[in-house]
Amino acid sequence: MTAAAVAPQVRALPLRCRNCGVERDAAPVAICEECLGPLEPLYDAARRLPTRKEIASRAPSLWRYHEWLPLDGSPIFSLDTGFTPLVEVPRLATLLGVARVWAKNDAVSHPSLSFKDRVVAAAINAAAAFGLDTVGCASTGNLANAVAAQAARAGLPAWIFIPDNLEVGKVVGTSVYGPNLVRIRGTYDDVNRLCAQVADRYGWGIVNVNLRSYYGEGSKTVAFEIAEQLGWRLPTAVVAPMAGGSLVSKLGKGFREFLSAGLVEGASPRLYGAQATGCAPIVRLVERGDGQLIPEIPDTIARSIAIGNPADGAYAAESIRKSGGWAASVSDADLVKGIKLLAETAGIFTETAGGVTLASALELARTGHFRAEDEVVLCITGNGLKTVEALAGSLDEAPVLAPRLRDVADLVARASQHSH
Amino acid sequence: MSITLSLPAVLTRLTDGARTIEGSGATVGDVVHDVAGRFPQLAPRLRDEQGNPYSFVTFYLNDEDIRFTGGFATVVRDGDELIIVPAIAGG
């Protein structure tokens, strides 16, 4: 079945420019024709919204919040993405000096083990609504995995562009699905610029270029799930990694939408952004306090968030400041410690971006940004098996023994001596 | 110096459909000034009222972001290509 054949079942919402307010019909276009500002889906303010009970009775996927997603009708593809676990981690609460800590664990997102499954689920249905027969993306790896997996299942050809220096897991985790995978000599920012030109040239649905208005809304479902999984209430603080800067802004939008729908009460959480010091243009923008993002050339092992020219950087900084939050960056050595600490305390193996998130949370705690009564959610956006290179040389090597009980007994005796 | 400006499709309605425009000058800023003078409707999508690059586009001189090379003061050479790409993409 082609996307075009099923297009009538799902319709994309019309769009409005975030910068100048001009409205237009639904289209695979992310840029305002008047001012080139970003277009956002325009929801019918009078639409009927569900109650907590109605939402809770729906299937455990991100589509249980479909009234806040940019499509009318029935989505066709990726119906089982979302609703990942929210895992409480008491030992991290102790370390951060706060009341409670949870990890929102998108490291186990279906189908491709990162939060990018959410945005692609929204975008691939928008592609169907427009009858686009090919999808694609510019990616630092996780988005490549998500587009390749979801396009394969949907039966759509995919063109995927990545920097040529990505981790093996990110490359294999894309090519296994059989897309047209292209490795570009350069940084993500080079790839991104190329994809903007590719989207201009071909009539494809590049999920984070011309379908970006619809794609971005999928990120809000992280906020919706956190609220529902906490028992229909909000945490006081959320820490999220920043690459293009969209997630942190959309978290704020999601929390505000649930507040205005009356599904939760109280204050919107303070938003905290995390980056690697080797690529931290949004953290530096928050620290400077002006509105002018200064692009950087990335130099970090946190490749999944190594975007030196983040499209939503200024919006992310604004969302963070307005929420009363802040931002922090950490070294590559500290992000590796963060990966290990999350594994040892939460039993969750995250990729480099997750290590950045936890290490930045520790830095924010050290510099006095959290309060003893805080309830903090850490957004763990990707899976550690994709970036095992980051841990090279930093884990104890497992001993190799002969298959003899005596040798095991010696080892256990030494280990127990060591631990006492 | 003769420089080729490559425009995104969204801006071509301001240039009677032209995807590329020839411009001249010694720097990127000079070239933009030259083109802005000949295509007044396009001008505000290239530079703001202070004469700085318009915030929703990124300029690449031969594939390099001009913010790393001196912005509008970047020197151009005959035959260079100046690519203009909408800033809102990716991530």
Of B8, B60, B89, the CB nearest to A212: B89
Contact A35 B65 (CB under 8 A): no
Q: Which of residues 363-402 of A touch B (CB under 8 A)?
A: none
- pLDDT (tens digit per residue) in A64-91: 999 999 999 999 999 999 999 999 999 9
Provide CB contacts within 8 A for B65, sequence distance 6+: A189, A193, A295, A309, B58, B59
CA proximity to A382, closest of A188, A222, A186, A217: A222
Phi, psi of A46 (to 5 degrees): -95, 5
Assign 3-class secondary structure to B26-79: CEHHHHHHHHHHHCCCCHHHCECCCCCECCCEEEEECCEEHHHCCHHHCECCCC
Helix (H, G, I), strand (E, B) or coil at A330: strand
Contact A208 B65 (CB under 8 A): no
All residues of chain B having their beta carbon less than 8 Å from the beta carbon of residue A35 are 45, 56
- pLDDT (tens digit per residue) in A236-260: 999 999 999 999 999 999 999 999 9
All residues of chain A having their beta carbon less than 8 Å from the beta carbon of residue B57 are 36
Smallest CA–CA distance from A116 into chain B, residue: B91
Dihedral (Cα; A70, A158, A353, A295), 10-degree rounding: -80
Average pLDDT of the segment spanning A356-374: 98
Q: Distance between CA A97 and CA A94 in Å, rounded?
A: 5
- pLDDT (tens digit per residue) in A95-143: 999 999 999 999 999 999 999 999 999 999 999 999 999 999 999 999 9
Smallest CA–CA distance from B89 into chain A, residue: A209
C-alpha distance from B80 to closest chain A C-alpha (Å): 18
pLDDT of A1 reads 45
| B88 in A contact zone (CB under 8 Å) | yes
All residues of chain B having their beta carbon less than 8 Å from the beta carbon of residue A188 are 90
CB pairs under 8 A between A and B: 83
The stretches of A40-158 forming alpha helices (DSSP H) are 52-56, 90-96, 116-129, 142-154
Helix (H, G, I), strand (E, B) or coil at A179: coil
- pLDDT (tens digit per residue) in A176-228: 999 999 999 999 999 999 999 999 899 899 999 999 999 999 999 999 999 99
Interface test with B, best of A17, A35, A36 (most B CBs within 10 A): A36
All residues of chain B having their beta carbon less than 8 Å from the beta carbon of residue A310 are 91
Provide CB contacts within 8 A for A271, sequence distance 6+: A237, A238, A240, A248, A251, A252, A319, A320, A323, A325
Residue A7 has pLDDT above 60, yes or no: no
pLDDT of A289 reads 95
The count of residues in chain A is: 420
Contact A36 B54 (CB under 8 A): yes
Q: Give the neighbor-by-neighbor strand order of the sheet with A180-184.
A: A180-184, A158-163, A135-138, A205-206
ipTM attached to this prediction: 0.95
